[in-house]
Amino acid sequence: MSATKEFTYSDVSEHSTKKDLYVVVHDKVYDCSNFVDEHPGGEEVMLDVGGQDATEAFEDVGHSDEARELLDGMLVGTLKRQEGDPKPKSYHQATKNVSSADGASAGVGIYAVFLVGAVLAFAGWKYLQSQQQQ
């Protein structure tokens, strides 16, 4: 199938079984049929969002860059939204960027706490050594 094919929400909803599973992420349609058994979260997670817009579920988990690359290989088309289709839940890319920046700050903070702890431990050890020599 060509990645330029357009699917309606109704088209996608027809593909919700383990052997025929489509999901929508950011208005792109992916055929995940061959990936269901390999999904690290288990097949139930995939089947729960099969035939639906899985954008929120996909982003809430915080998939890795590798997972996103795998997803690119499953692209079969785009979603053509029509009147009466379920509205996409709002997801903002900025939210993701803020949380990843917070994660980087937390990582630096952990190193700082570790470094301060190591310095204090060394100072305590030196103090005890000087007390034993007296």
DSSP 81-106: --TTSPPPPP--HHHHHHHHHHHHHH
Residue 21 in this model has a pLDDT that exceeds 60? yes
What pLDDT is stored for residue 2 in this prediction? Answer: 47
- CA dist., res. 109 & res. 113, Å (int): 6
Percent of the chain with pLDDT over 70: 84
What pLDDT is stored for residue 6 in this prediction? Answer: 93
What pLDDT is stored for residue 104 in this prediction? Answer: 57
Q: Which long-range contacts (CB under 8 A, 24 or more apart) does 100-103 make?
A: none
Look up residue 52 and give its DSSP letter. Answer: S
21 sits in which H/E element: strand 20-25
Q: Name the more confident of 1 and 64.
A: 64
Under CATH, what is the fold of the domain 5-79? Answer: Flavocytochrome B2; Chain A, domain 1 (3.10.120)
